[in-house]
Amino acid sequence: MAIQTVDPNTNELLKSFEEMSVFQVDEAISGAVSAFATWKQTNYEQRAGLLHTVAKLMRDQKQYLARLITMEMGKLISQAEGEINLSADILDYYADNGARFLADKPLAPEFGKAFIRYSPIGVLLGVEPWNFPFYQVARFAAPNIMVGNTVLVKHASIVPQCAMAIEVLFKEAGAPKGIYTNLLISGKRASMLVSDKRIKGVSLTGSEAAGASLASEAGKNLKKSVLELGGSDAFIILEDADIDKAVEWAVVGRINNNGECCVAAKRFIAIESVADEFITKFKDKMANLIVGDPMDAATQLGPLSSEEAAVALADQVQRSVDAGATVLLGGKRPSRPGAFMAPTILTDLHPGIPAYYEELFGPVASFYRVKDDQAAIDLANDSPFGLGGSVFTQNIERGKLIADQIDTGMVFINHPTWTQADLPFGGTKGSGYGRELSELGIDEFVNKKLIRVCELNDPF
Ligand code: NAP
């Protein structure tokens, strides 16, 4: 796959990059190994200092970095700036809390003393997607650098300039060579690297296919992996919900990041008695979105990340319609240049129609009516994915009961699935395993070593 910057607003090729050679990749891995030997000896204060400096540089260069994001993958410029802030927050969060998370944990055995000591495991490979080019990397790199690991990052091939900018930030912050290294290579080559004995763990955020490929290599080579994969979040509207609020969040939940969000609200499930009101208002707002140039502050929905992505989404919609789905809104690509897809709502979906089980990565919503809470839960759980989900109700206890029965890694009451540094993020089923962010996110690639202190007169 070519490593290129193509502006999805125009589909114009802006820049091409040479992939790294086998020799360059080998050197990069060796560099990360050498860096690990000294980085693991540093204390938490030194590691925190580096992360805080990178965070500060990110904030100082926010406008420039945000424009890179928008130019390479089409995110609205205001959201790109928000992503830079969030990424810097994640770096600061692990700098501020890492030492506490990684402090020795005393145990209480029957006799004698014991504790758990956290130590780094070595060089890690992170494979990252284009949809949040800075945030995804921050989630992986910040906790692991705080632990004392060193990281190699293979970023998505359509965001090479974002990938290189992150490496430059670490360099400008004074990171010793090899702590953070960008690998300009294709996905296939990333999977092939997993068998390299110098790499001790792998983390991938992306599609199920890429996750399965990387994790099977990791399994064969007895290496730990973390997978953050796709999702098809249910957004349940109960009859006691504040419908206007639910509609506002439904639109945000579906079109945030131009709809290209693993935790976007994708399946809207309304209890019959409020279904008409919800869908009428939701359709009205989706129909009136301002579609256009993501650099323009007035735009509400930009292009998809690439022409390929737009073609694939339009094809999923068409295949669903051919199989019996009804189009309530949109359904086609607008007649304008760029990787655009019209805001779309599909209904009359059932197993056998592609949109029922597949992830729809863009501004395409699926709408369902159900008779009661149990039917909503059953439908929400009838998915190969298990990432996030939401329940809208004014009865919080009822919301919690439903949240408890939804088979996903995250459920939000009265809000679409969202993210922040101190909340764990991750899924179940086809959405992967492991967690990023919060205290859980620093726990994945560490050796949790038991240290047992025994006395001479302890029993056998
Ligand atoms: P993708 O095609 O799987 O790409 C993700 C990354 O994996 C890219 O760096 C890609 O490299 C690489 N890759 C592709 N094939 C690979 C292989 N065989 N072995 C190793 N690496 C490989 O996914 P995408 O289309 O960019 O991203 C969208 C997907 O990511 C959606 O399903 C979305 O839901 C999911 N996602 C999940 C989360 C989460 O936290 N759960 C967050 C964001 C996105 P190339 O670019 O070079 O192909």
Tens-digit pLDDT string for the chain (460 aa): 689 999 999 999 999 999 999 999 999 999 999 999 999 999 999 999 999 999 999 999 999 999 999 999 999 999 999 999 999 999 999 999 999 999 999 999 988 899 999 999 999 999 999 999 999 999 999 999 999 999 999 999 999 999 999 999 999 999 999 999 999 999 989 999 999 999 999 999 999 999 999 999 999 999 999 999 999 999 999 999 999 999 999 999 999 999 999 999 999 999 999 999 999 999 999 999 999 999 999 999 999 999 999 999 999 999 999 999 999 999 999 999 999 999 999 999 999 999 999 999 999 999 999 999 999 999 999 999 999 999 999 999 999 999 999 999 999 999 999 999 999 999 999 999 999 999 999 999 999 999 999 877 777 6
- Cα–Cα dist 330/327, whole Å: 7
Q: pLDDT value at position 460? A: 67
> Within 323-382, where are the H helices?
354-357, 373-381
Residue in 128, 205, 221 to alter for ligand 1 test, most ligand atoms within 8 A of Cβ:
205
- Cα–Cα dist 78/307, whole Å: 22
- Cα–Cα dist 237/396, whole Å: 13
CATH hierarchy code of domain 3-229+431-451: 3.40.605.10
pTM over 0.95: yes
Element at 153 (helix H, strand E): strand 150-154
Catalytic annotation present for 444? no
User: What does the block give as tokens for 284?
Assistant: 């009205």
Q: Which of 286, 269, 281 is nearest to 235 (CA)?
A: 269
Residues 272-287 have pLDDT tens digits of 999 999 999 999 999 9
- Provide the residue type at 248 as one letter: E
Supply φ then ψ for residue 350, to 5 degrees.
Answer: -155, 165
Which atom of ligand 1 is the closest one to the Cα of 130?
26
Ligand 1 neighbourhood includes 160 CB (under 6 angstroms)? no
Give the domain ranges of the chain: 3-229+431-451, 233-413
Strand order in 224-228's β-sheet? 180-182, 150-154, 123-127, 199-205, 224-228, 432-433
Ligand 1 neighbourhood includes 359 CB (under 6 angstroms)? yes
Q: How far is the CA of 205 from the centre of ligand 1 (A)?
A: 6
CATH superfamily of domain region 233-413: Aldehyde Dehydrogenase; Chain A, domain 2 (3.40.309.10)
